[in-house]
Amino acid sequence: MTPTPAPTPAPTPAPAPPAIVVLGSTNMDLVAYVAKAPAGGETVTGREFRTVPGGKGANQAVAAARAGGEVTMIGAVGNDDFGTRLRSALAHSGIDTDSLRTAEGPSGTAHIVVDDDGGNSIVVIPGANGLVTGLACGDEAVITSAYALLLQLELPLSAVTAGARAARLHGVRTILTPAPAAPMPPELLAATDLLVPNEHEAAALTGRHDPLLAARALLDDVPEVVVTLGAAGSAYISRDAPEPVFVPAVRSRPVVDTTGAGDTFVGALAVALGEGKPMPEAMRWASAAAALSVQRHGASTSMPYRQEIDAL
């Protein structure tokens, strides 16, 4: 008798895409690639110039969308050519831009120097981002529908705080990247669920240069902290589990441009958490996303798609 073939196992269903809202900045990145960044007062000749859609908010939105989230962006672009390009780059990544305003005046720009080690220095001119001082009509309803609200500090603090408050009111998880590092109002920290600084931001916020001590100090303000440690990985600590969990970085070669690596990490982390992955697993997945992003040029242009993250 011919044995009955075993049934083919049903494929694991893809998790429902978590709804992520980003309230944050959009910048056109004006990037100069040089062997070595100039010192103060020095002039150097660079190798190449590129314009790349960026901004910490938009980068996190693109990272989350490519990682599998259903993403809406709240913020503003200017009514210039950069604004048109920034908006269409977001839409091209599948991001809902209905809540992205077009403001009178220039879009935000970031003036970036990237050296041969992939390191960078950045000057941001806020432009339209600086005009987002609070939530507009309809923004709160958009936030209410999300699993998580992603925030950074490239919009005026009044807007970031209003967003966090609205999210907290409706039980939406708030994930705040305190970059660029700046003192934050207590109302913002009180409405933050998860803070994700890098080691330099953690030190700037607390005055402690040991990232773990800095993370512990931040637990006075927020219930959960993930500190990103560059090539050393990331560490998680919470009020409920004060023993730190370290997750090593995924190795990455070659490193060509680290711009937006932290944003990639946060966007992917939010998606993984929204799909119900436990924190250490979510951090590992986000690390893989960041590792892929540093192997490519630019911020939003370097962000990996879900299949690439899974494969790594």
Pick the closer one to ligand RIB by CB: 99 or 198.
Answer: 198
**Contacts of ligand RIB in 84-113 (CB under 6 A):** 110
Helix (H, G, I), strand (E, B) or coil at 3: coil
Q: What is the DSSP string of 8-76?
A: PPPPPPPPPPPEEEEE---EEEEEEE-SSPPPTT-----SEEEEEEE-HHHHHHHHHHHHT-EEEEEEE
Q: Which is nearer to ligand RIB, 59 or 234 (CB)?
A: 59
* 124 lies in the binding site for ligand RIB (CB under 6 A): yes
- Per the listing, tokens 């890098």 go with 198
Burial per residue of 223-232, b for 16 or more beta-carbon CB atoms within 10 angstroms, e otherwise = ebbbbbbeee
Min separation Cβ 309 and ligand RIB, Å: 19
Q: Do β-strands 148-151 and 173-176 pair in parallel, antiparallel, or remain unpaired?
A: parallel
DSSP string, 223-275: SEEEEE-GGG-EEEEESS--S-EEEPPPP-S-----TTHHHHHHHHHHHHHHT
Which of 25/72 has CB closer to ligand RIB? 25
Q: Is 260 in the site for ligand RIB (CB under 6 A)?
A: yes
178 touching ligand RIB, by CB under 6 A:
no
Does residue 29 touch ligand RIB according to CB under 6 A? yes
Q: Which residue stretch of 48-56, 93-101, 202-210, 285-293 sits at the interface with ligand RIB (rule: CB under 6 A)? A: 48-56
- The reply to whether 221 belongs to the active site is no
Work out whether 263 is an interface residue with ligand RIB (CB under 6 A): yes
Contact between 224 and ligand RIB by CB under 6 A: the answer reads: no
> Toward ligand RIB, which CB reaches closer, 96 or 154?
154
Please give the residue ranges that form the binding site for ligand RIB (CB under 6 A).
27, 29, 54-56, 59, 110, 122, 124, 154, 259-260, 262-263, 299
Q: Which residues are catalytic?
A: 263
